[in-house]
Structure formats: structure tokens, C-alpha cells
Amino acid sequence: MKKLFIYTFGCKINQYESQIIKEKYCSNSYIYTGDFEQADVIIVNSCSVTAHADKQCEQIINKFHKKNEKSKIILTGCFAKVSKEKILQKFPFVEIVMKEEMLKDNEQRIKTFDNHSRAFVKIQDGCNSFCSYCIVPYARNIMWSKPVDKIIEEIDNLTDIGYSEIVLTGIHIGKYDKGISYLLNQIYKNINKNFRIRLSSIEMNEITDELIRIMKAEQERFCHHLHIPLQSASDTVLKDMNRKYLSKDFLDKLNLLKQNFKDISITTDVICGFPTETDKDFNITYNFLKDNEFARLHVFPFSPRQGTKAYELKQVYKNGQSKIRTDKLLQLSKELEQRYFNRFVNTKRKAVSLRGKKALTDNYLTIENVEKQNGIFEVEVK
């Protein structure tokens, strides 16, 4: 039998899609190997969210080809779609297979989620928001939502085999047909088991009163954690980014969530060094993050992506300033994370096991030195 190896870059969606690819090949006379040098077929599931991601992908292709010249290398994913001609020029030995060919809509379900203690379930694909800095709408331009009955069946099967936390994921899950609240209602109505749901990420203006109602009604089965991308707290920069809100709108939503859930963990994405971000803009963002009790920041230096509107913008700050801002926000993230964690020391939370004697609580705290347990269990925060 031929041997398959898969290398996955990037987001939860890519991890999920790699599992689909693995199951597809292994049901068709392949066996999976963890050693790429022994593989007959190597599949690289690529990311292109930043220029650094592109570079990493090129480096790994070179490595695989150099150490296993006999292997067939297949490239799929976002980098393959947005840079196909460039890749084929540089790597003529690579076969490019578009995601749409690799993953048929009616096959997008997994039986298990290898090497994970939590199961990701892809509910949606595609984005048409066209934030000015983002290449994703060009790489994943087909809007798609998985049918509700297929999602329920998939979650039902995954919880049957022991996954107690299900992470609903997609490129833009707020664009799910009929709405994310409708989907959650159907899941909770049709699956009466001891499991919990976490949303991978959701936009501020897609957190509705109905979603909050469901979160409150299903407090034992909905994680007290939301990841809500901010990107900037400067209204000027938000406009240049083509984000669909003002900082006041975001703050109002934060306050509403905190009024309803005193323990909620809110994490966010922030871009440092957007071309039009002045020192004043950065300070507005920094103070907004510092003052509003975020639990963790995901900080990204701005990466110019050819083909996006932001690529053409003139940089208003000196070279090197982006790194200084990024480092400052990374330090702030450490402080915010510790501050949030300290609020819960000597309390007990519901958790699921992670690898390496760790556990993850419903409000996104990682607890060390916890013996592996099945299902959802209580853990002391310390």
C-alpha cells in the first residue's frame, strides 16, 4: 500500500480539511505515515494569510523535495489558489490541486479528529467582506454552508466517540445560512448529550440578542468564551481597513456581553502597523485593549498582500515602528492574560483534557498538571 503524509499550515479550517483529505486517501488504499521521508505522496495544505506564511510554505516544499525526491508532492489550500503560476514556475515538480477539487461539498464531514482532544467541525466556507488588508476573500471566494442535518449528524457521531468539546469553525461563521443562532438552536434541540460548543471566531456585529439568549439558556453546553476580531480601535484605521463598525460599537457589544456573563473570556485579533496607522492611532488601540479587560490578544504585524487595497496604501510611519508596536502589544497580551487568569485562581471550572497533562476550561484558561480525564470534568484553577 502507498504511504501518505500531510503537512498542514494555518487555521482551524485547514486542520479540519486535512483530516477530510486523510480519511479520503486512507479509505482508498493508502496508509498514513508520520515520516515524510517514507511517504509516496506528500500533501501540503497551505496558508496565505501573510507573506511569512507563503515563505514558510515554499521552505517546506523545498525540504520535502530535497529529502524525498521520489515522493509526489501535492499542494492545495490558499497559497496554491492565489499564487498558482508563481508556484509552478518555482516548483515545476509540484502538482497543484485546488481545494474545490480536493474537497467535494457533500464529503465535508469527518469521522474522527486525529491527535486532537477537541473536535473542529467546519460549518461554513468563504468570505465576501473584503477587508482591505485580507487576501482570504480571493483565496476562498465561494460562499458555502454545510446543511444543518449534516452538521448535527457529524457532531452526534463525534460526541459518541468521546469528543466533549466541539469547535464550530469556518472562514466567516457569521455568514452561515439562516444564521449561527439558528444553527445552535437546532444542534441543542437535536443532540441531548453532555458536550459543549465553542465558536472559533465571530464578528462583533454578528453577536445578536438571540445569540446571547442561547448562550444564557445553554450555559452548561456553550463555552463562556468568544473570539471577536477588533483589528484596531482607531475609527480612522477601521475605515481604511474596510471594517464595518466603529470602536464605540465594539465597546457597546463588549459591555453587553460582560453584563450578561460576568466570567466571559473575550479574546481578539489586532493588526499592528497598518499603513495608515499613526502613533496616535496606535495609542488609541493600545489604551482600548488595556482598559477593556480582554483575556488574550492575537497580535499580527501588517503583511502587505498584493491584490488587496491596503497593498497600495502609503506607509505613514518610519520603518521599524511596526515591530516596536507589535512587541508592545505582545507584552500587553501577557499582562492581560495573567490578570484574567488571576480572577479565577482558587475557583473551579468545567474543563476538557488537552495533550500533555493540560486542561482547557470553558472560559479558555489552560490549566497545567491535570491528569487526563474523559468528558467534561471540574478542575481547580491554580
CATH number assigned to the domain covering 109-223: 3.30.750.210
H-assigned helices in 279-374: 279-291, 321-342
Residue 102 confidence (pLDDT): 84
Residue length of the chain: 382
The DSSP bridge pattern shows strands 94-96 and 165-170 to be unpaired
pLDDT tens by residue, 4-57: 999 999 899 999 999 999 999 999 999 999 999 999 999 999 999 999 999 999
CATH number assigned to the domain covering 2-102: 3.40.50.12160
Cα separation, 361 vs 366, in Å, equals 7
Mean pLDDT (the chain, rounded): 96
Give domain limits for the chain.
2-102, 109-223, 258-342, 348-380
Q: How is residue 96 written as a grid cell? A: 497543484
The DSSP bridge pattern shows strands 165-170 and 196-199 to be parallel
Q: Which residues does residue 197 pair with via DSSP β-bridges, in sequence order?
A: 166, 222
pLDDT tens by residue, 299-347: 999 999 999 999 999 999 999 999 999 999 999 999 999 999 999 999 9
pLDDT tens by residue, 275-306: 999 999 999 999 999 999 999 999 999 999 99
What pTM does this model have? 0.95
pLDDT tens by residue, 179-209: 999 999 999 999 999 999 999 999 999 999 9
Residue 298 burial (CB < 10 Å; 0-12/13-18/19+)?
Answer: middle
Contact 80, 90 (CB under 8 A): no
Residue 313 confidence (pLDDT): 97
Query: What is the identity of the amino acid at 156?
Result: D
Cα separation, 83 vs 106, in Å, equals 27
- Is 258-342 CATH 2.50.20.10? no
Residue 148 confidence (pLDDT): 97
Say how far residue 242 (Cα) sits from the centre of its chain: 21
Phi then psi for residue 142, to 5 deg, are -100, 115
Answer yes or no: same fold for 109-223 and 258-342: yes
**In the predicted structure, residue 103 carries a pLDDT above the cut 90:** no
Phi then psi for residue 10, to 5 deg, are 90, -140
Contact 39, 63 (CB under 8 A): no
Residue 250: strand, helix, or coil: helix
Cα separation, 126 vs 238, in Å, equals 22
